């Protein structure tokens, strides 16, 4: 790892660091998006989730006054073929080599995924940048990353009531019951997202553990905003939502919207989305946001646009290959269509 400039120090992250880390990350995010990226509560849940070892997965670089100058983290889970990394350097601390030191640590930590991944599988690390952050883009490019994907934040203002949802025949709307629907909803979600870019199935047991933890730890978790479209005794589609985005009480958020392959092309995704819009408006939300792969393999962007959403923000994914091999992630489905 490159040496830090005099007066700077690299430290393991602790849960006590969450409030100042959130302020630091949000100050960075506001430079490029004009809004906060994460709330204290969301960051706390993320960093304390099962499988996250904070002592080894996250680092702070402090200046001589003990304030955050940079921060980074590395996360991966079974089957460990995709490593998610992020690193931020404060504006006042750029150009000093701090980003290079932090990235050296990120890569060293990411390399540990290789020994956990299946033999012969390709292993990569992803990092994202805000559109317009030319310095971050250049840094990753010079570090060997290739820009591989684009993501949109999409938005709709709830100035008027949305159209009434048209439910496909046989579909009954229900809301999530943690004691009844936990495993069925996780399996339905995996089925719905199996043909989305980058998806790779991991351990169902680990996913159930993480979901249980989020239900218990997230103060914004609201089962009445987790909608299930049920056909007989099967979940055909789901729309999981949060009452606010990054702590913003005026903006509600769609965390996941998916329709299982056997129920696509019947308008179910659109019906779920419009139902969510209507419920958010009834509760007083001013707008609804979500994030989506701009090159969605299942045509999700066309669905959102047809429902009145527009692109509000762009970000980019960058990928660095850590080990060549067989790619286990989804790239292109045989039958990619918008649900409509």
pLDDT tens over the chain, length 340 residues: 678 999 999 999 999 999 999 999 999 999 999 999 999 999 999 999 998 999 899 999 999 999 999 999 999 999 999 999 999 999 999 999 999 999 999 999 999 999 999 999 999 999 999 999 999 999 999 999 999 999 999 999 999 999 999 999 999 999 999 999 999 999 999 999 998 889 998 899 999 999 999 999 999 999 999 999 999 999 999 999 999 999 899 999 999 999 999 999 999 999 999 999 999 999 999 999 999 999 887 778 999 999 999 999 999 999 999 999 999 998 654 333 335 4
Quote the pTM value. 0.92
Closest CA relative to residue 295, chosen from 193, 148, 125: 148
Classify 155-314 by CATH class. Answer: alpha beta
What does the DSSP 8-state code read for residue 197? Answer: T
- Strands (DSSP E) contained in the chain are 9-12, 58-62, 68-75, 82-89, 123-130, 146-157, 171-175, 226-231, 234-242, 251-259, 287-293, 310-323
| Domain extents in the chain | 9-117, 155-314
Task: Give residue 110's pLDDT.
Answer: 97
Rounded Cα distance, 28 and 296, in Å: 27
Provide the phi-psi class of 95: left if phi over 0, else alpha when psi is between -120 and 50, else beta: left
Query: Burial, 152: exposed, middle or buried (Cβ in 10 Å; 0-12, 13-18, 19+)?
Result: buried
Residues 6+ apart with CB under 8 A from 126: 82, 83, 84, 85, 148, 317, 318, 319
**How do residues 287-310 score in pLDDT, each as one tens digit?**
999 999 998 877 789 999 999 999
Task: Give residue 299's pLDDT.
Answer: 79
- Which structure tokens are listed for 212? 């249980």
Task: Give residue 1's pLDDT.
Answer: 61
Rounded Cα distance, 112 and 200, in Å: 19
Burial 31-44 (b: 16+ CB within 10 A, else e): ebbebbbbbebbbb
Residues 6+ apart with CB under 8 A from 282: none
Pairing between strand 310-323 and 123-130? antiparallel
Its CATH architecture, for the domain 9-117, is 3-Layer(aba) Sandwich (3.40)
Task: Give residue 336's pLDDT.
Answer: 37
Q: Coil, helix or strand for 274?
A: helix
Question: What are the angstrom distances between the C-alpha of 18 and each of 31, 40, 221, 308, 322?
Answer: 20, 6, 19, 36, 29
Is it true that 9-117 and 155-314 share their CATH fold? yes
Q: Coil, helix or strand for 78?
A: coil
Rounded Cα distance, 208 and 212, in Å: 6
Is the bond leading into 79 cis (omega within 30 degrees of zero)?
yes
């Amino acid at each position: 790892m490159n040496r830090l400039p005099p007066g700077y120090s690299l430290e393991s992250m602790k849960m006590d660091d969450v409030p100042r880390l959130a302020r630091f990350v949000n100050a960075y995010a506001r430079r490029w998006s004009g809004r906060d990226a994460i709330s204290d509560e969301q960051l706390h849940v993320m960093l304390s989730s099962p499988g996250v070892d904070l002592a080894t997965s996250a680092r702070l670089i402090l200046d001589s006054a003990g304030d955050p100058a940079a921060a980074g983290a590395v996360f991966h889970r079974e089957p460990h073929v995709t490593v998610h990394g992020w690193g931020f350097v404060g504006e006042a601390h750029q150009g000093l080599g701090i980003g290079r030191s932090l990235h050296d640590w990120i890569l060293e930590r990411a390399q540990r995924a290789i020994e956990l991944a299946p033999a012969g599988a390709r292993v990569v690390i992803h990092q994202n940048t805000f559109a317009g952050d030319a310095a971050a883009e250049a840094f990753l490019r010079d570090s060997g990353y290739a820009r591989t994907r684009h993501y949109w934040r999409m938005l709709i203002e709830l100035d008027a009531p949305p159209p009434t949802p048209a439910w496909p025949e046989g579909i009954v709307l229900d809301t999530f019951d943690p004691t009844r629907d936990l495993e069925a909803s996780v399996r339905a979600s995996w089925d719905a997202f199996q043909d989305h870019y980058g998806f790779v199935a991991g351990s169902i047991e680990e996913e159930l553990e993480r979901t249980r933890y989020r239900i218990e730890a997230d103060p914004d978790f609201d089962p009445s905003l987790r909608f299930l479209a049920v056909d007989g005794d099967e979940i055909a589609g789901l729309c999981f939502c949060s009452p606010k985005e990054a702590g913003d009480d005026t903006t509600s958020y769609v965390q996941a919207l998916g329709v299982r392959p056997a129920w696509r092309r019947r308008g179910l995704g659109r019906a779920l989305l419009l139902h969510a819009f209507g419920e958010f408006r009834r509760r007083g939300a001013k707008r609804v946001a979500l994030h989506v792969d701009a090159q969605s393999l299942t045509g999700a962007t066309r669905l959102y646009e047809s429902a009145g959403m527009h692109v509000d923000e762009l970000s980019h994914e960058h990928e660095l290959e850590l080990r060549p091999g067989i790619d286990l992630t989804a790239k292109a489905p045989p039958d990619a269509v918008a649900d409509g």
